[in-house]
Structure 1
Amino acid sequence: MKKFFLSLLVSFGFITGAAASEGGYAWDKFPTEKMSDMAALQHGAQLFVNYCLNCHSANYMRYNRMHDIGLTDDEIKKNLLFAADKVGDTMKVSLDPKRAKEWLAAAPPDLTLIARSRADISKGSGADYLYTYLRTFYRDDTKATGWNNMAFPDVAMPHVLWELQGQQVAKFVEEKDHHDPSKTIHRFEGFEKTSPGKLDEHAYDQAVGDLVAYLQWMGEPAQEHRVRIGVWVLLFLSVLTVFTWRLNASYWKDVK
């Protein structure tokens, strides 16, 4: 298991490696309310299967675990089961890792725990990172794929959701480096849309939020259940503390 976590952190450099150096592009806040929205999680699962599962596996997640987000076996078979035969199978892909390494320079990593692995205490949660990453792709003809990313400069992965978002370019302004006037830096000023996608900006942000919610849920499907149990455990301990305190006081009141 330890080797798995280490390999996951290393291999994810292909899609979501360290976001530039210290500092870099600020992460946007992921809409956490989507984690309790079953419709959003179901839509996110659909987006994951259609756009991510072609290259990226989720080997530690079984299709039938989606029962927890309100999907039946029939719904899973009809809408999501394209890369496996049974709902009890794990979410594997047919892409051969050796071939992928030859074609793409690195094998696309498994995404089961990707939202949990990308947290940065100085910037935000892994969900914040993914939400920013999937919304800040821009056209860059100097790159082999034709794409670059603000959250992960020089990313090797192309923008798989470009048909939904459309295409945009990043606007930079040259200015002197405050720390070294002899150097010139490029300050990001914003994006300019060059061609529309199937979704407008708001709808695309909502779709990305749904996808990230699913990725976050997939990393720990029992998270909501764990939190609810934790609240009851804390309440029980609080009540027990009061009884224990009064019992202790009663026991020692006649002791001098």
Structure 2
Amino acid sequence: MNAWKKLVFSLVLAVSLGGGAHAAGGGIAWDKAPANTTDLASLQNGAKIFVNYCLSCHSAAFMRFNRLQDIGLTEQQIKDNLLFTTEKVGDTMRASIDPLQAKAWFGANPPDLTLIARSRAGAGGTGADYVYTLMRAYYRDGTKPTGWNNLAFPSIGMPNPLWQLQGERKPLFETREDHGHEVHAFTGRWEQVSPGTMTPLQFDQAVGDLVNYLQWMGEPAQNKRVKIGVWVLLFLLLFTLLAWRLNAAYWKDVK
């Protein structure tokens, strides 16, 4: 897929992600994201998916490419695999689309995604859970301008950017009675209409890697912070033990 096609298929997240609260209330329950920000292989694959399918339209303006060295990539690997021809390894992650054109075409610029996995937490779960559910809940809907709809966010404005990987699916509904009215409820099952380049399991893992990367990108220092916190607690525990024994030794002859 060339850059222009990626641009077309990943536009308008300004509408979709911007309405996260609505998605939580009007869509399906959120699935639990398989988040593990210490899994370097997952983070590296997530960074690759982000650059290839998201960065055409959505910036991550608070993240520099060379910060990806924190997830085990070398500077040369970043240059060879994650940079476009005009970018430098020290640049921030800026969208390829021109902001003026985006606003003219869609009425608003696609939002920055640096903190998206941290900012969408709600009653349905974490922000990572929301994005993980959203990216796996697309289906074809010929009544919508984009040809796509989403169970996690009904009437979503963004087409499915990963449809070639996932293929096309159809949600299965059943008729239920709710307060005297018949309603169509999602059964939790999908029918595969046409295959993608990935199996369903592979696709779920790929989306999990993408969400994992988005969660890490929201706070790159989180793993280091946890490690420092563990060492601080161990130091305080050891210091408390030494202080207790020193206190006992100091007062042992006092009656």
Gaps of 5+ in 2: 1-12
Inter-CA distance 228–21: structure 2 relative to 1 (3 Å threshold): closer
Question: How big is the shift at 1:241?
Answer: 3.0
Question: How big is the shift at 1:213?
Answer: 1.2
Residues 18, 152 of structure 1: 8 Å contact kept = no
Secondary structure of the corresponding residue to residue 36 of structure 1: coil
Question: How big is the shift at 1:248?
Answer: 5.6
Structure 2: distance between partners of 1:39 and 1:21: 30
Aligned-residue sequence identity (percent) comes to 59
Question: How big is the shift at 1:61?
Answer: 0.4
Gaps of 5+ in 1: 1-10
Residues 44, 210 of structure 1: 8 Å contact kept = yes
Structure 1: distance between partners of 2:185 and 2:126: 25
- 2:108 pairs with 106, 111, 125, which one? 106
Inter-CA distance 246–22: structure 2 relative to 1 (3 Å threshold): farther
Residues 174, 187 of structure 1: 8 Å contact kept = yes
Inter-CA distance 210–131: structure 2 relative to 1 (3 Å threshold): same
Secondary structure of the corresponding residue to residue 192 of structure 2: strand
Note the 1:1-256 alignment, pairs <5 A: 13-15=15-17, 17-20=20-23, 22=25, 24-33=27-36, 35-82=37-84, 84-120=86-122, 122-177=123-178, 180-181=179-180, 183-189=181-187, 190-246=189-245
Aligned alpha-carbon RMSD (Å): 2.3
Partner of residue 5, structure 1: none
Question: How big is the shift at 1:169?
Answer: 1.4
| Number of matched pairs | 241
Question: How big is the shift at 1:198?
Answer: 0.3
Secondary structure of the corresponding residue to residue 32 of structure 1: coil
Structure 2: distance between partners of 1:191 and 1:31: 20
Structure 2: distance between partners of 1:253 and 1:19: 66
Aligned residue type for 1:227:
V
Residues 115, 219 of structure 1: 8 Å contact kept = yes
Question: How big is the shift at 1:21?
Answer: 5.2
Question: How big is the shift at 1:95?
Answer: 1.7
Structure 1: distance between partners of 2:192 and 2:234: 51
Question: How big is the shift at 1:83?
Answer: 6.7
* TM-score, normalised relative to structure 1: 0.85
Question: How big is the shift at 1:184?
Answer: 3.3
Inter-CA distance 253–186: structure 2 relative to 1 (3 Å threshold): farther
Question: How big is the shift at 1:247?
Answer: 5.1
Question: How big is the shift at 1:164?
Answer: 0.1
Q: Which moved more, 1:123-132 or 1:199-208?
A: 123-132
Question: How big is the shift at 1:31?
Answer: 1.7
Residues 164, 204 of structure 1: 8 Å contact kept = yes
Question: How big is the shift at 1:89?
Answer: 0.4
Question: How big is the shift at 1:25?
Answer: 1.6
